[in-house]
């Protein structure tokens, strides 16, 4: 894979132009300790504009919090000359636990509680963005957010701008390495940090991002339709991953569509 620094520079210019054009002064990024948020926060800092790197513990695993803290320290050191990186920690655990308690055991749903954590984080990011005249910056990559829709509707999917939406996970990792982002983060195992059992994204999805990238590449080369002859030539594992992709893609497509709106017909 070719050097990604030139593409990174284009994304940085695009970010800055959008902010200036829309009279926004800051970027607000939720930093999880993973590779996607590490890259996005780095790209935002490269614009020279104020970049608020926000860590939002919510019954979170300590490893992720440690990685997030190390990344922010690295960013602050790297951009010490411009002094435009700000580290913010807002502990949402008490808020979340109070929210759960208020239901008094009614409507239990592990998935529902996981999505609530994501939506609380979204609310916190916008609370920071409003007085900062900022943009909440999305950290979703091409495969995760725009192909299998592996995100929370009105949670981490609710953002103002999406700088890595056209990058695969492999490209995100490569760009991190080319920009010198801490190796621990560029190679971190992807996880959304929303589940008590600490499951990784790839366990939850049922395939690795690299496997999904191969399927997406095939689909894009064939106008989003794989003829039976192509499927028949796949390995058994590739066919399994295709089924995983189709299941997530079809189940989550509604997240990317406009809200269904009733219209009166006169």
Q: Which sequence spans correspond to the domains of the chain?
A: 5-202, 204-256
Specify the pLDDT at position 226.
75
Residue 61, pLDDT score: 84
Residue 230 buriedness (CB in 10 A; 0-12 / 13-18 / 19+): middle
Predicted confidence (pLDDT) at residue 219 exceeds the cutoff of 90: no
Given a cut of 80, is residue 229 above it in pLDDT?
Answer: no
Question: Quick one: pLDDT at residue 18?
Answer: 98
**According to the model, what pLDDT value does residue 198 have?**
64
More confident residue, 78 or 2: 78
User: What angle is formed at CA 105 by the lines to CA 99 and CA 110, rounded to 5 degrees?
Assistant: 75
- With 70 as the cut, is the pLDDT of residue 203 above it? yes
Give, to the nearest 10 degrees, the angle between helix 5-21 and helix 35-46: 60
Strands 134-136 and 85-89, by their bridges, are unpaired
The predicted-structure confidence for 26-55, as pLDDT tens digits, reads as follows: 999 999 989 999 999 999 999 999 999 999
Confidence of residue 202 (pLDDT cuts 50, 70, 90): confident
* 137 close to 40: Cβ distance less than 8 angstroms: yes
Say which residue, 20 or 219, is predicted with more confidence: 20
Q: What percentage of the chain has pLDDT greater than the value 70? A: 94
Give the residue-averaged pLDDT of 105-130.
96
Q: What is the pLDDT of residues 138-188, one digit of tens each?
A: 999 999 999 999 999 999 999 999 999 999 999 999 999 999 998 776 666
3 state DSSP class of 188: coil
CATH fold of 5-202? Rossmann fold (3.40.50)
């Amino acid at each position: 894979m070719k050097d990604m620094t030139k593409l990174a520079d284009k994304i940085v210019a695009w970010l800055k132009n959008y902010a200036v054009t829309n009279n926004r002064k800051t970027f607000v990024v939720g930093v999880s300790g993973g590779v996607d948020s590490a890259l996005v926060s780095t790209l935002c800092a490269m614009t020279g504009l104020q970049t608020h790197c926000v860590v939002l513990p919510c019954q979170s695993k300590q490893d992720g919090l440690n990685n997030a803290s190390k990344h922010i320290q690295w960013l602050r050191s790297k951009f010490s000359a411009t002094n435009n990186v700000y580290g913010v920690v807002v502990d949402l655990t008490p808020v979340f636990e109070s929210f759960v308690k208020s239901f008094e055991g009614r409507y239990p749903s592990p998935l529902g509680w996981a999505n609530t954590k994501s939506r609380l984080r979204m609310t916190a990011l916008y609370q920071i963005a409003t007085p900062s005249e900022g943009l909440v910056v999305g950290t979703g990559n091409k495969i995760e957010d725009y192909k299998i829709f592996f995100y929370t509707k009105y949670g981490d999917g609710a953002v103002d701008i999406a700088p890595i939406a056209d990058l695969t996970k492999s490209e995100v990792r490569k760009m991190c390495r080319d920009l010198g982002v801490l190796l621990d983060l560029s190679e971190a195992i992807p996880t959304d940090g929303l589940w008590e059992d600490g499951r990784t994204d790839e366990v939850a999805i049922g395939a690795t991002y690299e496997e999904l990238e191969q399927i997406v590449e095939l689909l894009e080369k064939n106008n989003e339709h794989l003829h039976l002859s192509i499927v028949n030539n796949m390995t058994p594992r590739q066919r399994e991953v295709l089924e995983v992709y189709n299941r997530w893609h079809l189940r989550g497509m509604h997240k990317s569509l406009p809200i269904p709106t009733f219209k009166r017909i006169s």
